[in-house]
Amino acid sequence: MEQTKPAPGLYIHVPFCVSKCGYCDFYSITDTGLVEAYLKALIKEIGSYREEFIGFDTVYLGGGTPSLLNAGRIGTILEEVHRTFRIAAGAEITIEANPADLGKDEMAVLRSLGVNRINIGVQSFDDKELAFLGRRHDCRSAAASLEAAHDAGFANIGLDLIYGLPGQAFNAWQTSLEKGLSFHPDHLSCYELDLKVGTPLGRKYEQGMLEPRTDESQHEFFMKTSGIIEDAGYIHYEISNFARGIEKASRHNRKYWDHTPYLGLGPSAHSFKGTRRWWNHESLPDYLRDLKEGRRPVAASEDLGTEDLAVEALFLGLRMKKGIDLDRYRSLYGIDLVKEKGPRLSEWVRAGLIEIDAHTIRPTRSGMAVADTLALL
């Protein structure tokens, strides 16, 4: 049976933050003096893809901190997107928001602009942890922001949390998590803190000022977290992501995980179409310069061969509960996974890391906990 191709997704990177969080390595700057120049350049960049991308069924405003832009500016961006591309009826239109930025009224304006999904970066319900992470809100404003999103009529509210802080006891994390669950978010992302090189917390770690977590502790946090959230009625559909029903899983992010094309606009944004991936300058001045001179602000690109795509599909597929569709995998990459990797797969089934039936390989919860190992299949 012929499958209809899923529509591409559109990502827009807003590269401004009020301050930088200690763990963050996303591209953003704290000088908002270039907001107007950015908007002008973004409008040009949108127009430059008019011929290459016809339409989208998801739009995602991420960053950085898109909620820093006022509603008028967000409206300008969305209007231009609608003017240039065909946006499907019922498209998922998401904005990432910092709890410190938006009250009920601002959120209601976003709703009226067609934004139908809001993802709030709460990260913790413990003020000391928020201070450690360098967040600029406290847990009171996080709670207020979630309530405001409900009151503004959002029917699809996501909440991001971070766990595994140095020295954090599981009970402390569980308290934060349960507070988050008490708001009944439609979607929950729980990321393990990664002390990335080049970030303030990463530097502290390199200087020996932060204790690394043991593998056992990481495993314990992952397994218990998944258990608590699934017991609360959510589907653990991707390593770090949970949804209250599969229809509440992020339609946009799932495109990244199954090689659906996506267009990324704004500094540092990545795009993918067919076998080509390209990405923009991770520098607002370079981004502005290229668009001013009439060029797309692309820093570099790569062409992926069938083998590269097959390896990626394996890596990404084993991070998702739905796993890998064996027939699709064979028809796309010419590889019969069961035939070629039979002994290893049997070993993993025995170890309780995956489940296999005639059509699918799926990671179990224990398998998701070691997904990086599974990707070495």
Binding stretches for ligand SF4 (CB under 6 A): 17, 20-21, 24, 26, 28, 63-65, 98, 121
Q: How far apart are CA 43 and CA 265, in angstroms?
A: 10
**Cα–Cα distance measured from residue 15 to residue 38, given in angstroms and rounded to the nearest whole number:** 9
Instruction: Look up residue 216 and give its amino acid.
Output: E
**Looking at beta carbons, which residue is closest to ligand SF4?**
24
Q: Please, what is the minimum distance in Å from the beta carbon of residue 315 to ligand SF4?
A: 25
| Residue 273, phi-psi category: left (phi > 0), alpha (psi -120 to 50), beta (remainder) | beta
**Minimal distance in Å, beta carbon 14 to ligand SF4?**
9
Residue closer to ligand SF4 (CB basis): 201 or 239: 201
Cβ–Cβ under 8 Å, residues 7 and 57? yes
In whole angstroms, what is the distance from residue 148 CA to residue 374 CA? 41
Structure tokens at 165: 């802080």
Amino acid at 253: N
CB of residue 26 vs ligand SF4: minimum separation in angstroms?
A: 4
Q: Write down the least CB distance from residue 57 to ligand SF4, Å.
A: 25
Q: Which is nearer to ligand SF4, 17 or 81 (CB)?
A: 17
Q: Quick one: 162 or 177, whose CB is closer to ligand SF4?
A: 162
Q: Which residues of 251-288 are buried (b: 16+ CB within 10 A; e: fewer)?
A: bbbbbbbebbbbbbbbbbbebbeeeebbbbbebbeebb
Q: What phi and psi, each to the nearest 5 degrees, are found at residue 252?
A: -65, -50
Q: Which is nearer to ligand SF4, 9 or 15 (CB)?
A: 15
Q: Which is nearer to ligand SF4, 21 or 61 (CB)?
A: 21
User: How far apart, in whole angstroms, are the C-alpha atoms of residue 144 and residue 35?
Assistant: 27
Q: Give the whole-angstrom CA distance, residue 237 versus residue 258.
A: 13
**Residues belonging to the chain:** 377
Decide whether 141 or 226 has the Cβ nearer to ligand SF4: 141
Closest to ligand SF4 by CB, 15 or 363: 15
Which residue lies nearer to ligand SF4 by CB, 8 or 64?
64
Q: What's the min distance (Å) between Cβ of 275 and ligand SF4?
A: 30
CB of 329 to ligand SF4, least distance (A): 34
Q: Measured from the CB of residue 118, what is the shortest distance to ligand SF4 in angstroms? A: 15
C-beta closer to ligand SF4: residue 64 or 185? 64
- Spell 185-208 as b/e; 16+ CB within 10 A means b: bbbbbbeebebeeebebbeebeee
Kindly state the smallest distance separating residue 320's Cβ from ligand SF4, in Å: 24
CB of 121 to ligand SF4, least distance (A): 6
**Closest to ligand SF4 by CB, 260 or 268:** 268
Burial label for 34, CB within 10 Å (0-12, 13-18, 19+), is middle
Rounded CA-CA distance 64/167 in Å is 28
CA distance 243 to 75: 28
| Shortest Å distance, C-beta 123 to ligand SF4 | 8
CA dihedral 23, 28, 31, 36 (to 10 degrees): -160
Task: Work out the angle at residue 274's Cα, subtended by the Cα atoms of residues 268 and 275, and round it to the nearest 5 degrees.
Answer: 75
